[in-house]
Copies of this chain bind each other. A is one copy, B any other.
Amino acid sequence: MARRGSYAKGVAKREEILERALEVVAREGYRGASVKEIAEAVGLSQAGLLHYFDSKEELFTEILRKRDEHDGDEFRTDAPGAARAAYLRVIRHNVQTPGLVELFSRLAVEAADPAHPAHAYFLERTTELRAQLAQQADEFSGIRDVPPETLARIVQAVTDGLQLQWLLDRTVDMAGTVEALFAILDDARATQDGKDD
């Protein structure tokens, strides 16, 4: 991967910075986290940190990517019928890392601009996640007249929307509400199964 030693060292340092930044944001919250704050937490000056990233926005995008990596390692499952449970575990874990939820939501809005460094990241992430959900047809879909992609989009929208509600009011039960949605989807499917046209 690395073409030269110095390049490889740069990559390693980048990873080290991201791991540390991820931890800091998760633990201490976002609070309009400036580059300077993260730099100090990581043990660098502001300019020193930006040596490894093109901009603040790119740094934050990479922090979110790193989180996805960790979540994938920790929660991904191939066990049949376990997709919902894994999904809910991620949501419950998010409650432990409010700073990352805030960073995610904030960047999701800012990335609306196609020129934003996180624009591609969010498009890819959202598309991939939707494909995963739609693929678990047995668990997430099976309702006639409503395509799996639309069901996946609804589950995704509820999750993102609940994060906004939860950021505003920490007593909101994100996982419980998503579970309620799953129950509703099951009921709707049962209705459809009963029909015969």
Residues of A within 8 A of B (CB): 31, 102, 105-106, 108-113, 119, 122-123, 126, 143, 145-146, 150-151, 153-154, 156-162, 164-165, 167-169, 172, 177, 180-181, 183-185, 187-188, 190-192, 194
Provide 24 A-B residue pairs closer than 8 Å at the C-beta atoms, listed in order of the A residue. A105-B164, A106-B110, A109-B109, A109-B164, A123-B168, A126-B169, A145-B183, A146-B180, A146-B184, A151-B180, A153-B172, A154-B177, A156-B161, A157-B164, A157-B165, A158-B158, A158-B161, A159-B161, A160-B165, A161-B162, A161-B164, A184-B184, A184-B185, A185-B188
Give the most central of A105, A168, A192: most B CB within 10 Å. A168
* Smallest CB-CB A-B distances: 4 pairs: A157-B161, A161-B161, A187-B188, A160-B161
**Chain B residue at smallest Cβ distance from A113:** B31
What's the minimum C-beta distance from A196 to chain B, rounded to whole angstroms? 14
Label chain A's interface by main secondary structure. Answer: helix
**A145 contact set on B, CB distance < 8 A:** 183
**A190 contact set on B, CB distance < 8 A:** 191
**A172 contact set on B, CB distance < 8 A:** 153
**A165 contact set on B, CB distance < 8 A:** 126, 153, 156-157, 160
A192:B181 contact, CB within 8 angstroms: no
A112:B161 contact, CB within 8 angstroms: no
What's the minimum C-beta distance from A74 to chain B, rounded to whole angstroms? 24
What's the minimum C-beta distance from A189 to chain B, rounded to whole angstroms? 8
Give the most central of A106, A162, A184, A190: most B CB within 10 Å. A184
Partner of A184, one of B119, B122, B161, B188: B188
Other than the known A105-B164, A157-B157, what 15 A-B pairs have Cβ atoms closer than 8 Å? A109-B164, A111-B168, A126-B168, A126-B169, A150-B177, A150-B180, A154-B177, A154-B181, A156-B161, A159-B161, A160-B160, A160-B161, A161-B164, A185-B188, A191-B194
